[in-house]
Amino acid sequence: MKFLPFVLKHLKRNWVRTTSTVVAMAVCIFLFCTLQTVLREINAQLESANAARLVTRHAVSLVFSLPLSYGARIQAVPGVKSVANTTWFGGSLPAKKEGKAEGDASTTDWSSFFPNMAVDAEPYFAMYPEFQMPPEQYRDFLGDLQGAAIGKKLADKFGWKVGDRFFLESFIPPYRKSTGPFEFVVRAIFDTDTGKYPGTDTNIMFFHFRYLYESTGRRLNAGTYTVAIDDPNKAGSISKAIDGLFENSDAQTHSETEQAFRAGFIAMAGNLALLLNSIGLAVSFTILLVTANTMSMAVRERRTEIAVLKTLGFPSALVMGLILAEALLLGFLGGGVGVFGSQALMWVIMHSPAKDMLAGVGLSTLAIKPAVGLLGMGVALVLGFAAGFVPALNAYRSKITDMLRTV
Amino acid sequence: MSMVDVQAVRKVYRRDAQEITVLDGIDLQVPEGEFVALMGPSGSGKTTLLNLIAGIDRPSSGKVIVAGTDVAQLSESALAVWRSRNVGFIFQFYNLIPVLSATENVELPLLLTSLGKAERRERALTALKVVGLADRAGHYPRQLSGGQEQRVAIARAIVADPKVLVADEPTGDLDSKSAEEILALLETLNREFKKTIVMVTHDPRAAERAHTQKHLEKGVLKA
């Protein structure tokens, strides 16, 4: 500890260079922590998927729907326990709640977007034990065509209570009705046991597919089917059997596990994990070069001082340690600023209208986990160490007389 | 007993295939409490000999025994410890650490000891008093004149109470008045604190202040 003031004084010596290095390091760790947090949130979404559930969608794209008749045929496949029509509604709270939309002008309030699905409620909730609600509320929800079951996060966000009414309007043309937005009544508020079902998001709403179907002139198909199976180990063969049923139809299907489906949904934005990790790696490597260059310059301009320290009796290992300590301190400062900055960004996002847009794609709780923060600090220290190692080793190896001669 | 005993020392540098003999069979004995001036033209090997005595370089052959230790036999780390306890080095260009105050510069060698912070600070201030700079303790090198910087460097050299002081052209970068003050200070350290001093100098007036003058020419010590 007695050498700490010595190290700090050297860092203060060229404060512009020190500050710029810390900022560079901070940007690197900021990006690292932010990207890792997003990736972990996505992974948590994927991990919350149940292996005993399949999703059957149109083989071409999620954009295309499947005939309603497919539900009963899938139900008949051996190994299938139950089937639920699961249709992405894409509804938003409309700026104008009643009456016809005026022309093509959008009346949608996008700032408070959240996921909402039209489902066959009974089979759907039976296959999702993670969504827990009071039995009487569930009963009321089943008994009301306009009823909505909303997650606790959603209820907290809008201050909705059981009995409250609200309107949603879809951005998908077939799901819009000429008389204006759909009206819903909150009949049930469900929550989850995060210990038992980690990653389950309650920033979501479900309502009866029948309400959507009947309100739009009974012309709709199903977006996807969620299929509960009796044995997760047979997911492959059951998927194959389902898809085999519709092999020669106009609407061929593609069945996969819920996890694969969610991964595919996220992958519509490209290979996100690869992209984010590549960005992180490239930035880290660049910062390593910048910091290494800074440390090399700092050591080079102090060759005489290093020679003096050695002349005074400072062992080479101690001199090397002092330089490494300087580099590690740079890493520590940069890491601290980066982690704090990343957390600050998450906080700002989570307290701005942008959070609703992120919630719409399942990223409803962005916050740096302690493990990510520690990992960020670890990366910063490793970068600092790597940047300082070569200059420190050169200082260790250099002969006093050589260093004094180059003055 | 000699404080410094240099026996048949040769120092050879190799540049590619070429060998350059800088010191060729040097024998030098400096008794304890002596003040010796090493003189000679540039390239004669004065600084190389001083570096060997200070333990910051090693002879190609021969022995360099200082304060009873054959420095060539010590490992790098043992040699560093030995230097911290036995040798005070005074450079021509002072070589103070610019980010440290006068006191902190003087305190540097004491960081290698087990002394507490308060005692280190007290000893550093005492050393600064000895060189007459107690009132400049908090000043940084850039706030001091050349002569004052050199006096701080001398305080740094004596703070750990070494047996031998080696000075490489200590007045080489100073005006005559400051040079006179530094030489007077070295004389005081030699006379009153019984420090053995080996000083390299070009300046005959500086050399006159020493008890003994030794002349080097082309790596050989002249009588």
Q: Cβ distance A154 to A191 under 8 Å?
A: no
- Whether the pLDDT of residue A241 is over 90: the answer is yes
Q: Cβ distance B24 to B7 under 8 Å?
A: no
Tens digit of each residue's pLDDT (9 = 90 or more) over A304-320: 899 999 999 999 999 99
Contact across the interface for A313 and B100, Cβ inside 8 Å: no
Question: Average pLDDT of chain B?
Answer: 92
Print burial letters for A279-295: b (CB count within 10 Å at least 16), e (below 16): ebeebbeebbebbbebb
Query: What are φ and ψ of residue A353, in 5° steps?
Result: -60, -25
Joined together, the tokens standing for residue B194 give 């019984």
- pLDDT score recorded for residue A198: 74
DSSP per residue, A96-111: S-SS---TT---B-GG
Instruction: Choose the closest CB to B109 out of A10, A305, A312.
Output: A312
Q: Cβ distance B184 to B23 under 8 Å?
A: no
Which of B111, B152, B158 is the mutation pick for testing A, counting most A CBs within 10 A? B111
Tens digit of each residue's pLDDT (9 = 90 or more) over A133-152: 999 999 999 999 999 999 99
Reported as a pLDDT band with limits 50, 70 and 90, residue A48 is low
Q: Which of B178, B218, B196, B184 is nearest to B92 (CA)?
A: B178
Cα separation of A290 and A387, whole Å? 8
Q: Cβ distance B70 to B63 under 8 Å?
A: yes
**Higher pLDDT residue, B65 or A404?**
B65
Contact across the interface for A308 and B85, Cβ inside 8 Å: no
In chain A, where are the structural domains located?
Answer: 4-46+271-405, 65-250
Q: Which of A300, A301, A318 is nearest to A309 (CA)?
A: A318
Query: For A304-308, A353-357, B156-160, which range has the lowest pLDDT when averaged over its residues?
Result: A353-357
Tens digit of each residue's pLDDT (9 = 90 or more) over A270-284: 566 777 778 878 887
- pLDDT score recorded for residue A99: 46
- pLDDT score recorded for residue A102: 47
Tens digit of each residue's pLDDT (9 = 90 or more) over A337-354: 999 999 998 888 888 877
Contact across the interface for A400 and B91, Cβ inside 8 Å: no
Instruction: Choose the closest CB to A312 out of B84, B98, B117.
Output: B84
Query: What are φ and ψ of residue A366, in 5° steps?
Result: -95, 115
DSSP letter for A49, please.
S
CB pairs under 8 A between A and B: 62
Contact across the interface for A9 and B99, Cβ inside 8 Å: yes
Distances (CA, A) of A241 to A71, A230, A253, A265: 14, 14, 11, 23
What's the number of CA atoms in the CB half-sphere (13 Å) around residue A337? 15
Q: Cβ distance A109 to A147 under 8 Å?
A: no
Query: For A165-169, A273-277, B78-82, which range has the lowest pLDDT when averaged over its residues?
Result: A273-277
Query: What are φ and ψ of residue A11, in 5° steps?
Result: -65, -35
Instruction: Choose the closest CB to A12 out of B93, B95, B99.
Output: B99
Reported as a pLDDT band with limits 50, 70 and 90, residue B38 is very high
| Cα A308–Cα A313–Cα A316 angle in degrees, nearest 5 | 80
Chain B residues touching residue A12 (CB < 8 angstroms): 99
- pLDDT score recorded for residue A262: 73
Q: Cβ distance A304 to A404 under 8 Å?
A: yes
Cα separation of A294 and A298, whole Å? 6
Write out the residues of chain A at the interface with chain B, using a CB-CB cutoff of 8 A: 2-3, 5-6, 9-10, 12-13, 304-305, 307-317, 399-401, 404, 407
Q: Which fold has domain B32-59+73-222?
A: Rossmann fold (3.40.50)
Strand pairing partners for B10? B24, B61
- Whether the pLDDT of residue A361 is over 80: the answer is no
| Cα A7–Cα A325–Cα A4 angle in degrees, nearest 5 | 35
Tens digit of each residue's pLDDT (9 = 90 or more) over A83-132: 999 999 988 887 555 544 444 445 555 667 888 999 999 999 999 999 99
Tens digit of each residue's pLDDT (9 = 90 or more) over B166-198: 999 999 888 888 899 999 999 999 999 899 999
- Whether the pLDDT of residue B165 is over 80: the answer is yes
Which of B22, B56, B106 is the mutation pick for testing A, counting most A CBs within 10 A? B56
Mean pLDDT computed over B103-116: 93
- pLDDT score recorded for residue B109: 94
Write out the residues of chain B at the interface with chain A, using a CB-CB cutoff of 8 A: 51, 54, 56-57, 76-77, 80-85, 89, 91, 93, 95, 97-100, 104, 108-109, 111-112, 117, 156
Strand pairing partners for B14? B19
- pLDDT score recorded for residue A89: 93
Query: For A47-56, A138-147, B37-46, B60-69, which range has the lowest pLDDT when averaged over its residues?
Result: A47-56
Mean pLDDT computed over A318-339: 93
Contact across the interface for B80 and A316, Cβ inside 8 Å: yes
Chain A residues touching residue B89 (CB < 8 angstroms): 311-312
Cα separation of A289 and A293, whole Å? 6
Cα separation of B9 and B133, whole Å? 39
